[in-house]
Structure 1
Amino acid sequence: MVHGEHLHQSHPDLVKRLKRADGHLQNVIEMMVSGRDCADIAQQLHAVEKAVSAAKKLLIHDHLDHCLEEVAASPRDFGKAIADFKDITKYL
């Protein structure tokens, strides 16, 4: 696995999700600048946080599925795959 060549099936969907979350975050910033109520801002920040967290989980789960398929096809890389699993799961 070479970094930079990782394009999983979920990546286009994740890009859309993250762009939507980014737009939502920009709206939250505007809410703050315009002096909106803190409770409203906190609620919207919570929604952004949940969206980013869900995207991260999807990315990690898709990565793990993809890596499992690679290990099944090429068991000689098993040790590296285990190290990669341990590395990425710390972000769950």
Structure 2
Amino acid sequence: MSEPHVHASHPDIAKRLKRAEGHLRKVIEMIDTGRSCLDIAQQLQAVESAIAGAKRTLIQDHLDHCLENAVGSLSREQRQPIEEFKMITKYL
């Protein structure tokens, strides 16, 4: 069995996802009780934002730690494509 793959950011990611879970429960409750579409859409936006933030944090953390460990020490010139890749992923 392999060792757990845990990063320092994982507790924050779990917190964001729990917040999204709470927002999603609220959306379902709002639909069940006949709340306005505007209210529901606003709450759905909160769910999307929480999940997107969690995903962004996970990907950035992975790149900052796992990718760094995989490539090891490189010259500044060799690192340029890696640094550009890390920067462009912020637009995901």
Whether the TM-score (by the shorter chain) exceeds 0.5 is yes
Q: Secondary structure at the match of 1:49?
A: helix
Aligned to 2:16: 17
Give the TM-score, by structure 2 length: 0.72
Matched, 1:6 2:5: yes
Partner Cα separation in structure 1 for residue 9 and residue 21 of structure 2: 18
Give the number of equivalent residue pairs: 78
RMSD: 2.7
Give the TM-score, by structure 1 length: 0.72
CA drift of 1:15 comes to 0.5
Aligned to 2:64: 65
Matched, 1:44 2:47: no
Identity across aligned pairs (percent)?
63
Q: Note the residue ranges of structure 2 that are not aligned, 5 or more in a row.
A: 75-81
- The code of the aligned residue for 2:67 comes to L
CA drift of 1:5 comes to 2.6
Structure 1 residues 17-71: Cα deviation after superposition (integer angstroms, max 9, x where no partner): 1111101110111000000001110111011101110110000000111113312
